[in-house]
Amino acid sequence: MPMLRIDLNCDMGESFGTYRKGLDEEVIKFVSSANIACGWHAGDPHVMNRTVQMAAAHGVGVGAHPGYPDLEGFGRRALDCTRDEIRNYVIYQIGALQAFCAAHRAKMRHVKPHGSLYNAASEDPAVAEAIAEGIASVNPDLIFVGLAGPKGAHIKAIGARFGLKVALEAFADRAYTPDGNLVSRKLPGAVLTDPALVADRAVGMAKESKVVAVDGTVIDLNVQTICVHGDTPGAVEMVKRIRGILDREGVVVRPMEPAPKE
């Protein structure tokens, strides 16, 4: 019987200057991958330095979390960029974080686009291509993280075309439609807040690659990593719960592996 394993990834290093954001020191105990902001939508060189060091000390997989150049909007606003702009933004931000990895003898393992850039990659293959080209031109060993389900279906193929490994991601605390998409945050019930239920869904994703949609349909969702959050004490508490249940269920939590090739 194959080992059951899953990755829990969490955005980190989102503080900036004297501004604090996220309970990184708490949540890092329970996750296996850190998506570290690179100074554009969040983070700064000192935060990056500290966060890479902390991730390395905890044996957590380090990834770059590139975003749009929009600190005020936290990278959540759509910005109409050309393909070259996106490629070069990704290269720049990966490189900046990579230097802190070198300084701390940490290995960068993955790249997960942030916020509005992540959404654009899920919806627009041209954006996903620009990101993949950026990653591949710096380091083709990096894993490209994208949304699992029909919306991000193109990401695996695009990653492959650029010689990249891809890891697909699910959200344990988000409701899914029967066709495998995330329920829009604008709709009621889009975000699940019951820790037991969320932990349960995480286990189902890890063990059976399945999740129950809003209408009760059981849908297939083959994912390599589950996104969790560390912004509030409640969020950290939920991650702790998820981690505890995964441990008890015998699911090994460790840094992401790419999705199997088809």
Binding-site ranges for a second copy (CB under 8 A): 16-21, 39, 44-46, 48-49, 69-74, 77-81, 84-85, 88-89, 91-100, 102-103, 116, 137-139
Give 72 or 215: the residue with its C-beta nearer to a second copy: 72
Give 97 or 199: the residue with its C-beta nearer to a second copy: 97
- The interaxial angle of helices 125-138 and 153-161, nearest 10 deg, is 40
Q: Please state the closest distance from residue 161 (CB atom) to a second copy, in A.
A: 17
Q: Please state the closest distance from residue 88 (CB atom) to a second copy, in A.
A: 4
State how far the Cα of 110 lies from the Cα of 49, in Å rounded to an integer. Answer: 17
The CA angle 232-108-92, to the nearest 5 degrees, is 90
Give 50 or 174: the residue with its C-beta nearer to a second copy: 50
Quick one: tokens of 128? 């996903």
From residue 16, how far is each of 33, 80, 232 by CA, in Å? 21, 25, 17
The DSSP 8-state label assigned to residue 149 in this structure reads S
Q: Please state the closest distance from residue 154 (CB atom) to a second copy, in A.
A: 22
Q: Please state the closest distance from residue 108 (CB atom) to a second copy, in A.
A: 11
| Residue entry with tokens 């992540």 | 118
Using DSSP's 3-state secondary structure scheme, residue 185 falls into coil
Q: Please state the closest distance from residue 176 (CB atom) to a second copy, in A.
A: 25
Give 32 or 93: the residue with its C-beta nearer to a second copy: 93
State how far the Cα of 212 lies from the Cα of 188, in Å rounded to an integer. Answer: 17
> What is the widest separation between alpha-carbon atoms in the chain?
50
Give 7 or 129: the residue with its C-beta nearer to a second copy: 129
